[in-house]
Structures are given as structure tokens and as C-alpha cells.
């Protein structure tokens, strides 16, 4: 597992645990303590209930369970909600919680943020920071999840442990990022007394179960967005999926697309899927691609198909695509950019890239399913 720490901000709808916790010795207000005997355990009502921790706590309780395993709400860090119907505007979450990453989240339709912290029962030095981001729809939430998870990285270079939760979640470097419906959540365990190796071990011990409980508490909304469900599973790389909002391939009018990452031996490629309302509008998309100057129609193909090179930055390799239509879905087979350096000998390139014929064969297999 990678040892590089995450630099993610955390925002999540939080719940109130019902477990007994003990405040640090420096905590104030421990009435009834006897000099020299140390502070007594803080009553459950004071440490692990919504009473006295702020109005935003009711928001958290309505979403999350009353407890997350062996952790309870930190009474000195009550939940904070940011959104149109909350006590603080969403813009303040961008300033105080999300930082520069808020730009991407707003583009994906972010409409609410909640933050909180849980303390480990009877050992408040150990804590879990929780962040929940809610988006306008499932597509926006899943696009943000896959952007955070993968982005422009090669999925084969990721060291992730999948977690068994409703929706999806992974553990990476002692942190969790997960998705369900309109929500994306993140968990981070911390304890100033532990070394990095100890932190990673403790996170692996506690966070999977906390992530499961948290995900189960979120609304059971629509499943995977339609374009993601169209991607083939055969030969797909683990964690090799991404949903991209906006115009696919940089072409106006193409809309949201799903990207799958695939491998067979040394050969690497991507699959593109765009879902349209009906076959006629999908045909219009293929027509739009066909009118580009660099696009060529593939003669002799068993279905309407075109080939072209995706326009990329001068420092990035050219990516060739073969695209065709099947009903209301546009499918494409393209080169894997992460394995194509700017300068690569033709012989080496042939080992990792699919030829035009190979791309057409794989596209045909998709059409025949």
C-alpha cells in the first residue's frame, strides 16, 4: 500500500454516536473531579449526544447513524453544514474546508457540505475526520468520485483496497473515499501518538467498517449512471473507470461520457460510452464526428464507424479513436494515453497500442453483444 499521505480536505454529513467517550485531561467542565485522582469519564449525554453541540447537529443526525463503531462525536468539534438551507453558505465551505479543490466540486454540481469529527471511545487521542459532499444528481457525484479516485492517473499505478459497501469505496494510504447516490464521502484517521506505519495499520483496522456503516446510512438513490453501465467488464483494469461531464473528446454536443481502461498483455486501450435518449440522436452524434476535417469513415466496417485523432496538448501524445453506434449508445475504442510518451519508437508503440484492425475488432465485439 502506498505510504504517500493524502492532501484532501474533508467534508461529510455527520452523525452522533451513542457510545461513552472520555475527554482529554485538558478538557474543561469536568465537574465532580477529585484533586489528584484525574478527570472522571465524561457522561454519555455530554460527550456523545446532540445536546449542546450546535443546531447543525440535527442535520447530521438525520443522515448518519447514531454511532460509527467504537467512535462518538467530538463535543468540541460539532458538525457544520454548508449549503443554501444551512446556517453557512456553500461559498464558506470552499473557503474554510475545500480550498482549491472546490472548483472541481462546483463544476460537478456540489450543493451541500457537512464536516465533523469522531473520537475513539475511551481514547479520544484517536479520531476520524469525516466529510460528506452532496451533489445535484448521481452523475455529478460519481463524476467527482472518479475524478478524485483516478483523474488522469494510470489505474495500474494505483494501490487501492476496495471496500465492501453500498455504492463504492476504497482505502488508500490510510484514508477512505466513497460514493453512494448523490453523495461522496471521505474518512481520515489520525492519532498524534502513532507513527506512519501505526496510523496505516489502525486506519485499516477501523475505517472499512466505519465506511460501511456510513454508506448504509446514506439515501439509497439511483445506481451507476447509464454510461457507466454500458462499459464492458472483460479485460477492464481494476478501478479503471471514470465518468466525465461536459463534451466528450472536446467535441461540442457530445455530452457526458464514461471511460473504461483495459489491458490484454502489453496492449492497453480505453473504451468510451456515450448514452443518448434514442438511436436517432446517437446517429446525430456520429454525424457530428464525421463532419470534422480529421475524421475518416471506415470503409468495409460491418456498421457505421469513423476514425480520428483526439486533439490534445502539444506535450501530450496523439490518441487515435475508432467510434461507432449501437442503438442509442456511441462506443469508441481509443489508445491509452498514459502509456504513450511523446516520443516512442514505432516498434515499442506497436507493442502497447491497438492497430486500426484490432480496434475495429473490439468495437465489433461490443456491437455483437
Q: Find which of 20-24, 196-200, 285-289 is predicted with most confidence, using mean pLDDT.
A: 196-200
Taking Cα atoms as reference points, which of 158, 146, 142 lies closest to residue 338?
A: 158
**Mean pLDDT computed over 286-312:** 86
| 262-294: pLDDT as tens digits | 999 999 999 999 999 999 999 998 988 888 888
What is the chain's alpha carbon radius of gyration, rounded to the nearest angstrom? 24
Quote the strand ranges of the chain, DSSP E.
71-73, 80-83, 110-120, 123-135, 161-162, 168-172, 175-180, 183-190, 236-244, 257-264, 267-275, 296-297, 305-310, 319-326, 329-335
Instruction: Write out the three cell numbers for 247.
Output: 463534451
Task: Please write the tens of the pLDDT for every residue from 81-138.
Answer: 888 888 788 888 888 888 877 877 777 889 999 888 888 877 778 889 999 999 999 9
Count the neighbouring beta carbons within 10 Å of the beta carbon of residue 195: 9
259 pLDDT more than 70:
yes
Residue 166: pLDDT above 50? Answer: yes
pLDDT score for 25: 33
Residue 275 sits at φ, ψ, to 5 deg, of -105, 125
Which residue do the cell numbers 507513527 mark?
Answer: 195
Is the predicted pLDDT of residue 27 greater than 50, yes or no?
Answer: no
The pLDDT of residue 345: 64
CA distances from 106 to 94, 233, 258 (A): 9, 31, 20
pLDDT for position 102: 80
Does the pTM surpass 0.85? The reply is no
- Confidence band of 184 (pLDDT split at 50, 70, 90): very high
Q: How many residues does the chain have?
A: 369
Lowest mean pLDDT among 120-124, 135-139, 143-147, 364-368: 120-124
Give the whole-number percent of the chain exceeding pLDDT 70.
78
Arithmetic mean of pLDDT, 253-259? 89
Is the pLDDT reported for residue 348 higher than 60? yes
pLDDT given at position 343: 62
Give 215's contacts (C-beta < 8 A, 6+ positions apart). Answer: 165, 166, 167, 169, 178, 180, 185
> What does the CA dihedral 178, 158, 105, 204 come to, rounded to 10 degrees?
30
Sheet holding 329-335, edge to edge: 236-244, 257-264, 267-275, 329-335, 319-326, 305-310, 296-297
Rounded to whole angstroms, how far apart are CA atoms 204 and 264? 32
Confidence class for position 250, pLDDT limits 50, 70, 90: confident
Amino acid at each position: 500500500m502506498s505510504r504517500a499521505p493524502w492532501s484532501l480536505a474533508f467534508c461529510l454529513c455527520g452523525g452522533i454516536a451513542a457510545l461513552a467517550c472520555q475527554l482529554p485531561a485538558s478538557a474543561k467542565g469536568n465537574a465532580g473531579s477529585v484533586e489528584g485522582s484525574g478527570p472522571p469519564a465524561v457522561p454519555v449525554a455530554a460527550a456523545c449526544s446532540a445536546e449542546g453541540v450546535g443546531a447543525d447537529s440535527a442535520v447530521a443526525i438525520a443522515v448518519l447513524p447514531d454511532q460509527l463503531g467504537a467512535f462518538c462525536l467530538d463535543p468540541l468539534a460539532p458538525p457544520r453544514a454548508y449549503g443554501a438551507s444551512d446556517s453557512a453558505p456553500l461559498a464558506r465551505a470552499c473557503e474554510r474546508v475545500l480550498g482549491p479543490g472546490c472548483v472541481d466540486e462546483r463544476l460537478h454540481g456540489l450543493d451541500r457540505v457537512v464536516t465533523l469529527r469522531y473520537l475513539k471511545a475511551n481514547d479520544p487521542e484517536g479520531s476520524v475526520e469525516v466529510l460528506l459532499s452532496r451533489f445535484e444528481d448521481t452523475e455529478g457525484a460519481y463524476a467527482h468520485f472518479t475524478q478524485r479516485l483516478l483523474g488522469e492517473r494510470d489505474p495500474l499505478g494505483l494501490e487501492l483496497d476496495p471496500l465492501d459497501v453500498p455504492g463504492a469505496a476504497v482505502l488508500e494510504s490510510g484514508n477512505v473515499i466513497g460514493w453512494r447516490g448523490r453523495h461522496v464521502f471521505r474518512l481520515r484517521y489520525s492519532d498524534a501518538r502513532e507513527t506512519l506505519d501505526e496510523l496505516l495499520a489502525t486506519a485499516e483496522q477501523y475505517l472499512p467498517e466505519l465506511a460501511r456503516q456510513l454508506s448504509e446510512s446514506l439515501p439509497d438513490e439511483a445506481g451507476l449512471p447509464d454510461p457507466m453501465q454500458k462499459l464492458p467488464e472483460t479485460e477492464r483494469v481494476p478501478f479503471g473507470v471514470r465518468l466525465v461531464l461536459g463534451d466528450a473528446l472536446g467535441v461540442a454536443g457530445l455530452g457526458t461520457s464514461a471511460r473504461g481502461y483495459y489491458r490484454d498483455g502489453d496492449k492497453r486501450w480505453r473504451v468510451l460510452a456515450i448514452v443518448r435518449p434514442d438511436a436517432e440522436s446517437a446517429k446525430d452524434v456520429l454525424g457530428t464526428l464525421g463532419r470534422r476535417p480529421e475524421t475518416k469513415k471506415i470503409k468495409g466496417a460491418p456498421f457505421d464507424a469513423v476514425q480520428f485523432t483526439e486533439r490534445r496538448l502539444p506535450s501530450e501524445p496523439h490518441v487515435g479513436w475508432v467510434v461507432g453506434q449501437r442503438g442509442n449508445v456511441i462506443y469508441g475504442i481509443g489508445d491509452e494515453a498514459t502509456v504513450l510518451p511523446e516520443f516512442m519508437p514505432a516498434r515499442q508503440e506497436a507493442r502497447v497500442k491497438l492497430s486500426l484492425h484490432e480496434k475495429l475488432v473490439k468495437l465489433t465485439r461490443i456491437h455483437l453483444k
